[in-house]
Amino acid sequence: MKKVALITGGARGIGKKIAETLADEGYAVVVNYNSSVDRAESMQGEFDKKGIDAMFVRADISDEKQVQSMIDQVMTKYGRIDVLVNNSAVTHDSLFQDKTAKTFEDVLRVNLIGTFNVSKLVGQIMYNNKAGKIINISSTNGDNTYFPMCMEYDASKAGINSLTHNLAMQFKPYVNVNAIAPGFIATESEVSGMDDEYIDSEVEKIMLRRVGTEEDVANLVVFLASSKSDYINNQIIKINGGMYGD
């Protein structure tokens, strides 16, 4: 029977590439989205043309009721969820003096609480089935990185690292829970507004002398989703080309 993978924030950027790559590997994919309506509709058209077994569900993962409704829809159609990729994330980069409790809370609610909401329900399904893979998309920003302009995002990713360890403990021994922490990945949102001089200076800090690609992250997701990673659990795996220095 075909395995089912649910990808939150799967209609754009890294999430889209993860969904496409898992589909190429033979998974039925469930693409969750919220604000990216146009992108989701376009992606659904692409998948339909290719005959990909996919389901698109709009839901705000920070809302428990919407998450429950999404999971109910997935289970009604497929009856199983084998892989969960918690990719959905928002940022609110700004000068420190312009930040408010509201903007901080907005980021945490989607990035951290949203990841908890989906993992709680899907993890229990996997636990009951005695099998499953949860893959959280974190960031190297969540580990010993200091950028006050994006401190809400950094805090949320540090929280996801902690959440990963606790979920692994909660759902042992049946569910593998790991996090991927990308470094500088050349997504549309990542490089927007960056000039070539800044990008070149960042590349100098990377041992492989290139920025990462969405494919790099997606390929690691495919590995962690597969049986080849069955003895990898409770890990935060950096994918940053060997970045070093400040």
Which residues are the active-site residues? Answer: 153
Peptide bond into 173 cis (omega under 30): yes
The helix (run of H) or strand (run of E) holding residue 194 is: none
3-state secondary structure of 245: coil
First to last CA, the chain: 48
Whole-angstrom distance, CA of residue 10 vs CA of residue 61? 12
Q: At what angle do helices 114-129 and 151-170 cross, to 10 degrees?
A: 20
Whole-angstrom distance, CA of residue 242 vs CA of residue 101? 35
Q: Is 26 exposed, middle or buried (0-12, 13-18, 19+ CB in 10 A)?
A: exposed
Whole-angstrom distance, CA of residue 63 vs CA of residue 60? 6
Q: Which two tokens stand for residue 41?
A: 């509709």
